[in-house]
Structure 1
């Protein structure tokens, strides 16, 4: 057989293999009409997907490895010389403890230190810069939404979330990854480890977006940052940091507040010093060199537990010592009076109706959590009051548990869930709403109360070793520990379709995700969640309307009754607002 014939056969089978892998449409797009965006940072080749374009793994910072480990991020050198291949796969997660039993059979840590990337998704209707010509005109640019994932500053990644729901709207969606745990928040008071590295990663990503997003069809003057849980706390940090404020115009804060329970900065630094000692880097000639050469698995898997109060065995401590420090003061304070109106971001903020149940479910499923936690109830509680040992727990216990001063399970599950909800989420969120509204920013306040087919608690329960216990205790309600409402993170599947579409068969669930996407994208587009067509009559809060809120439930926007409003206020009155404000960490 001639060499030419052999080559032709090889070429034929190679093309056939690629054709079968990519499918006919993507095959021709990839090899005959590639999607290449001309951005200020360089050429970026993405992928055409159903109804939208995707660009995965665009670097915004140099890999934080070697001498850059624990340090502030450094911008990725631009323009890059070659076309960046960004259309094939998600980038790695930042290092974190393994989230899957099956992964633990193969690896000792999840993710890679080379993780400072972002993903961009644009609908087919977006105007991309596909040549060296000038970028799309201003009137053709779409609003930009930047997602900051949650995970207690210790887990999660941008690649956990799907974009498909948002791609039904004229929105450019960006998802960013940032350093977590010790790698993102180790604070030794030194230049090589000063804390807030993860927050600085986010700021650098937002800066990259300002410089480049117009090439992907996005308007840098209409950027909304949004996040859930620790992602929401990150959003509030950016509202407080002068260098972040000009990088976005609107903010959506889902189940997070800088007034949430935490520990004193001095105590936090003591824990970080204790962690350094555990690493064997105390008393050495060069602490910086020691920590920068530590094995990655040792860094990720060794956590300085504060006590026996951790809610997750071999997992996240309670409270979390890897937490950002707010550099500055309260929200919007740095903006001068004359510029406050133009710089104050528009805000949408809210919680779920049963936030605490995600934590409480652990007690329902594994009694050893209950015994360990309740035996040191007061100690565990006061760890979360910024070190205020004088705080009187008696009124709190009386309100939530009556004569039963130590909650027993499962009969007191809902009461305990209410306590966690109010202490950790509802109280801090209400203080945040008042703080922002009183400083002149429009604030739209919501309560998510949709009881979806699948909840975050269901997912954790079904993935646990106590699956059958879950079936008996919770799914069939055969014990009195069953609760109602939406738990922490339950809204996420209705924004990002975390579950396969066939699991959301109920018409009310489809109606719910469509409402969520309408409200979220309306707000990103105009700063008003009502939209031009829908007219939900949702008004921003103020002290004049008693900081009222709306309820998102069953695909509809509802308004709380007077009784519901009173119940919320009564529950929050039990908490001294001063103690809530004391929780904030000021550097």
Structure 2
């Protein structure tokens, strides 16, 4: 049921769609999409299917549980408007308005028309986009596939449960955790069984994502749950080597949430049943209350994000990622990963506004040590490492110097380079590619004179999120076409 309000800017997207209906068969029933004209190139047309259900509504007793397949239908379901976004706050750190709906397990499919005229293959490569947003925010509708539709690929944008709904865990079988990542796997299973009806080749699936989506991509490479569901992978400005990716104290956060709601933690079954009865808006606001989150520390863990599960046949990840890579438990598929030139600069506005207390780093300088260095907490070399960081990045000056702070954060805090190095060191013949995006365009998220976090995403997609510009200069357009060509070539051939 699609009941949540859709911002008018998103509704405008579909005014440009043709009234001519397009019907496709899925294993659960028929859906009706529409024909769209690209807003990047008016000569390009494509089929678009929106709000396609891949999972049953995870509500009531299904909250915190694995997604179930959709219930089959006999009529023709509408797929011409977006599905609900998953439940989230209206602003990343200060907002109180709750957006979206728990019934949000939808995906969008774009099938090229114009690009197929010169394409002689029966089945096209498939590119599955996993959105970012710190595992807390965003939706599939914020990035539209218009630029990619200039090439002969099928593009799928997927949604997954976020925050407490996607990542709460009791550490046992009553709420196993990582449901947001398991939602993504459920979407990949749906794609495997249905994408041929949209011209896509289920044997040539590329998963790609930015920020938390990029980290999700690497999670799938490390998880047995996703084995065989994809054949290439691209991580953009996001990797599993980061404190912002893992919650290391999930039991503590669960206890704090239970206490804030007046529930007893003693019995997991009883607690989960009570949590399943809490209205979604109350549960979300409580989960993101500062009494549980603590002061916001950039790149540090927030309460409800991926966790290491207890070992079981259904676990998504049950070992530390360093060990998984060293043990060879990583999908041996062509892999591209990279970053922008000013990766650490995107929180500049949060520093100026005071949302991020930069003094917290002066009080606790060990926060500067990136998880990619693999130094356990309490290790004897922590002080020595902090001194080296202080000298190298801050010239022994103040830890609160914003310019130096941003340079430090952009170097290794996301662990992207370290991840590539570790894979290459353990597997010299691994088909891996590394990129750095440096172009400063008119619609890039530019900070401090360089390309900021997520800038390349605004070239690969047509951005519709409020505050994201769609203006393109000739230089922007040239870079966009080159970037799209590189990404789609990789999806088709496995190399660039």
Residue pairs, 1:158-197, within 5 angstroms: 158-197=140-179
Which residue of structure 2 lines up, in the alignment, with residue 16 of structure 1? none
1:68 to 50, 57, 62: 62
Q: Which has the larger radius of gyration?
A: 1
- Match of 1:121, SS? strand
Cα distance change, pair 263–516 in 1 and its aligned pair in 2 (3 A): closer
Q: Tell me if the contact between 2:222 and 2:324 (Cα under 8 Å) persists in the aligned partners.
A: yes
- Match of 1:187, SS? coil
In 1, distance between residues paired with 2:285 and 2:362? 26
Which residue of structure 1 lines up, in the alignment, with residue 474 of structure 2? 507
TM-aligned CA deviation for residue 259 of structure 1: 1.4
In the alignment, structure 1 segments of 5+ residues that lack a partner are 1-20, 129-136, 459-482, 530-587
Query: 1:292-327: per-residue Cα shift (whole Å, max 9, x none)?
Result: 011211221222657754058xxxx83223221333
Higher helix share: 1
Q: Tell me if the contact between 1:45 and 1:86 (Cα under 8 Å) persists in the aligned partners.
A: yes
- Match of 1:193, SS? coil
Query: 1:371-397: per-residue Cα shift (whole Å, max 9, x none)?
Result: 653453426447967861332211111
Q: Give yes or no for the alignment of 1:83 onto 2:83.
A: no
2:336 to 337, 340, 348: 348
Which residue of structure 1 lines up, in the alignment, with residue 277 of structure 2? 293
Cα distance change, pair 397–346 in 1 and its aligned pair in 2 (3 A): same
Cα distance change, pair 48–457 in 1 and its aligned pair in 2 (3 A): same
RMSD, aligned α-carbons = 3.2
Cα distance change, pair 23–271 in 1 and its aligned pair in 2 (3 A): closer
Q: Give yes or no for the alignment of 1:93 onto 2:85.
A: yes
Query: 1:215-246: per-residue Cα shift (whole Å, max 9, x none)?
Result: 00000000000001110111111101123120
Which residue of structure 2 lines up, in the alignment, with residue 544 of structure 1? none
Residue pairs, 1:54-453, within 5 angstroms: 54-78=48-72, 80-87=73-80, 89-99=81-91, 108-125=97-114, 139-262=121-244, 267-282=249-264, 286-302=270-286, 303=288, 305=290, 309-311=295-297, 318-324=300-306, 325=308, 326-328=317-319, 329-331=323-325, 333=327, 344-363=332-351, 365-367=352-354, 369-370=356-357, 372-374=359-361, 376-378=363-365, 380-381=367-368, 388-390=377-379, 391-392=382-383, 393-404=386-397, 406-410=398-402, 413=403, 415-425=404-414, 427-435=415-423, 438-439=426-427, 440-453=429-442
TM-score, length-scaled by structure 1? 0.70
Query: 1:83-120: per-residue Cα shift (whole Å, max 9, x none)?
Result: 11112x1111100111399996xxx3111000000000
In 2, distance between residues paired with 1:52 and 1:185? 35
Query: 1:47-91: per-residue Cα shift (whole Å, max 9, x none)?
Result: 11110000001111110000000111111133x21111112x111
Q: Give yes or no for the alignment of 1:527 onto 2:484.
A: no
Which residue of structure 2 lines up, in the alignment, with residue 8 of structure 1? none
TM-aligned CA deviation for residue 266 of structure 1: 5.1
State how many pairs are aligned.
451
Cα distance change, pair 409–419 in 1 and its aligned pair in 2 (3 A): closer
In 2, distance between residues paired with 1:195 and 1:386? 26
Query: 1:487-529: per-residue Cα shift (whole Å, max 9, x none)?
Result: 1111111111216998534221111111110100010010112
In 2, distance between residues paired with 1:308 and 1:248? 38
